[in-house]
Amino acid sequence: MRLFAFLAAALVAIVSVPVAAQERLPAPSIDDKSNIWLLDLSTGGRVEIALRPDVAPKMVERIKTLTRQHFYDGLVFHRVIDGFMAQGGDPKGDGTGGSTLPDLPAEFNYLPHVRGAVAAARAEKEDSANSQFYIVFQPRFQLDKKYTVFGRVISGMNYVDAIERGEPPQNPSRIVHAYIASDNPPAYQPLPVAAAPTLPATLPTLPGATAPARKPAPKKPAARR
């Protein structure tokens, strides 16, 4: 009788293990370029993000689809809170926009909101993630299992830290280009710096007039960081 009770208890324990834990897929290798998202930022460099299709397959697939459509190229970080996160991925640039693709169901998982975590932004409705995302500056564990974390920065976090703050920022930083690493993207290309206008060595004069003194070209203000 005791043996039967022991076997019954063991069976209950096995069955009671959460399905998610039983079916947890291995995380992709850090060398798997098909799951590395590259963001070339206007702050001066390339950010590498390891995507996690093992825990957020729908959101990762959405990121890959939009990236290959060049959807993210040129979009700004429209909401950036110091000590919290930088949010982007909105074609309207005000937090109300998204792609033309349908919203995605929530894929809340065990990944924490640590520094460098990348998660899907959403409205109050849980199943409303679309194209917007945010990158965490500092841990915010109270958001865990309330938003879909789908990746983490593995290189270039200093370029994320340099994103202009504000809600919205006065001079917003932007995504210059986005790529999937397996698509053989070009090397990071910095934004071209606009050249200051040059004046001719000798200014033309009008009859009966003296040539005005040549003024030096104005200096460009230093870029805000």
pLDDT digits (tens, 9 = 90+) for 147-195: 999 999 999 999 999 999 999 999 999 999 999 999 999 999 877 755 4
On whether the CB atoms of residues 101 and 58 are closer than 8 A, the answer is no
pLDDT along the chain (225 residues), means of 10: 45 40 74 97 98 98 98 98 98 97 98 98 97 98 98 98 98 98 94 51 39 44 44
**What pLDDT shows up at residue 194?**
52
pLDDT for 99 equals: 98
Q: What's the pTM value of the predicted model, to 2 decimals?
A: 0.76
Closest CA to 111 of 89, 72, 139, 74: 139
Please state, in angstroms and rounded to a whole number, the distance separating the CA atoms of residues 102 and 164. Answer: 30
Q: How far is CA 34 from CA 3, 4, 45, 152, 208, in A?
A: 51, 50, 20, 15, 71
Residue 191: the pLDDT is 74
Domains assigned to the chain: 34-182 (2.40.100.10)
